[in-house]
């Protein structure tokens, strides 16, 4: 089954835009006509440039290759141009296409992808969601309102969620780690306190920071949150400095999680060796795809670490995360967009089922989804913004810092 064709869908997300401004979906076809779908999460360049990278990687390293030879194709991309090192853009391009290869293989053998990876470990997969504004909330005020966050937390727990994520300690700046302001520390504590008062011990709190802080700043913030026993302290410092992250892990009594911006086992293994984190959060549309991330999970087993696949993308990466999650023994949970996301679920014709805090492991062949190409084509992305963006302005210490909620679509 040789790979013959590539099609790319750059799909604009619909308001309110949870999951990013756009999604990059992949369609691969093999010579017998079977098609597979994947998703690229890497988005350090604009979609036009990313599409050019995807086409180059496909034509240079994958076109005409047997779809089964995933390891060989990975090694070609990893070594391309005499690099032999992680590159988030080229590996991200390959990741989306690798997922599509597995979708094809599963369909060809009439088995779910997890059956080809070693079989089923988890029939029901614990899921978590960010806290998002409810319909009656002011979408701008929500991000700095402990009261609204607590209300959303209660609604999520009432739906069945046993873990919820929040990140009230903004801003997201491109300047590297900074010292949080006292207002940001106080606000973070207020969020955790308000949520705990409403939900008690019915759900874990997952505290995100997106690598915003200096080492000392992360320690100050983490120690202030310890009373509320978060399950994890996510990316407390920028992800490119794992040895400083290890200092945070040793100074704060909250497990550290990281991984959404890392790619391949070459970047994840040092995280484990250094003790920087005990929870890994690979995003399969960037981390190298399904097979590479299974290797990452296997390395994590050796360190008694758990895996919680990350999702701030579209539903095809979600489907890939679920296939991996169904197979690995050291699964913690997977991220979802609410209970699947309205537009997300429409794009896959509601073929993934969420039930009372858990995802029901699919049994259909391949990724277990039915991708709606017509809906994807009807919602092209034609804007200039990136999937996610950070602000240039530094943290303010004389006024509140604001967070825009993960780069929702640009309003006309």
Query: What is the structure's pLDDT at 121?
Result: 98
| CATH 1.10.10.10 at 115-366, yes or no | no
Query: What is the structure's pLDDT at 412?
Result: 44
Range 360-369 burial, b when 16+ CB lie within 10 A, else e: ebbeebbbbb
Res. 286: pLDDT tops 50: yes
Mean pLDDT, residues 268-274 taken together: 98
Mean pLDDT, residues 87-105 taken together: 98
In the chain, what are the domain boundaries?
115-366
- pTM higher than 0.85, yes or no? yes
pLDDT in tens, 121-173: 999 999 999 999 999 999 889 999 999 999 999 999 999 999 999 999 978 88
Which of 284, 287, 278 is closest to 253 using CA atoms? Answer: 278
Res. 404: pLDDT tops 80: no
pLDDT in tens, 348-402: 999 999 999 999 999 999 999 999 999 999 999 998 888 888 888 899 999 888 7
Range 139-165 burial, b when 16+ CB lie within 10 A, else e: beebbbbbebbbbbbbebbeeebbbbb
51 in Cβ contact with 24 (< 8 Å): yes
């Amino acid at each position: 089954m040789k790979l013959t064709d590539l099609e790319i869908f750059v799909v604009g997300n619909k308001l309110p835009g949870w999951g990013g401004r756009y999604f990059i979906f992949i369609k691969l076809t093999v010579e017998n006509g079977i098609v597979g779908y994947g998703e690229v999460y890497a988005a350090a360049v604009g979609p036009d440039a990313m599409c050019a990278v995807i086409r180059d990687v496909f034509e240079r390293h994958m076109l005409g290759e047997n779809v089964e030879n995933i390891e060989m194709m990975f090694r070609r991309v990893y070594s391309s141009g005499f690099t032999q090192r992680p590159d988030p853009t080229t590996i991200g391009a390959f990741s989306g296409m690798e997922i599509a290869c597995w979708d094809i293989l599963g369909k060809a053998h009439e088995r779910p992808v997890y059956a080809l990876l070693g079989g089923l470990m988890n029939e029901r997969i614990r899921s978590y969601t960010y806290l998002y504004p409810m319909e009656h909330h002011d979408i701008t005020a929500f991000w700095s309102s402990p009261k609204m966050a607590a209300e959303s937390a209660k609604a999520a727990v009432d739906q069945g969620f046993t873990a919820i994520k929040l990140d009230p300690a903004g801003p997201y700046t491109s300047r590297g780690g900074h010292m949080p302001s006292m207002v940001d520390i106080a606000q973070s504590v207020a969020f955790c306190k308000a949520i705990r008062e409403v939900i008690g011990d019915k759900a874990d709190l997952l505290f995100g920071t997106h690598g915003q802080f200096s080492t000392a700043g992360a320690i100050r913030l983490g120690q202030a949150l310890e009373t509320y026993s978060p399950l994890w302290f996510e990316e407390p410092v920028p992800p490119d400095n794992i040895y400083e992250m290890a200092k945070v892990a040793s100074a704060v009594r909250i497990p550290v999680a990281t991984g959404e911006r890392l790619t391949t086992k070459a970047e994840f293994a040092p995280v484990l060796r250094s003790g920087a984190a005990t929870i890994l959060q690979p995003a399969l549309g960037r981390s190298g795809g399904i097979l590479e991330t299974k290797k990452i999970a296997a390395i994590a087993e050796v360190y008694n670490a758990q895996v919680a696949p990350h999702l701030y993308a579209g539903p095809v990466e979600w489907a890939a995360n679920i296939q991996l999650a169904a197979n690995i023994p050291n699964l913690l949970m997977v991220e979802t967009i609410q209970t699947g996301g309205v537009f997300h679920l429409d794009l896959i014709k509601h073929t993934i089922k969420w039930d009372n805090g858990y995802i029901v492991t699919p049994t259909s062949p391949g990724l277990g989804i039915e991708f709606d190409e017509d809906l994807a084509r009807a919602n092209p992305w034609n804007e200039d913004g990136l999937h996610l963006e950070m602000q240039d302005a530094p943290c303010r210490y004389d006024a509140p810092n604001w967070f825009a909620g993960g780069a929702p679509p640009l309003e006309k």
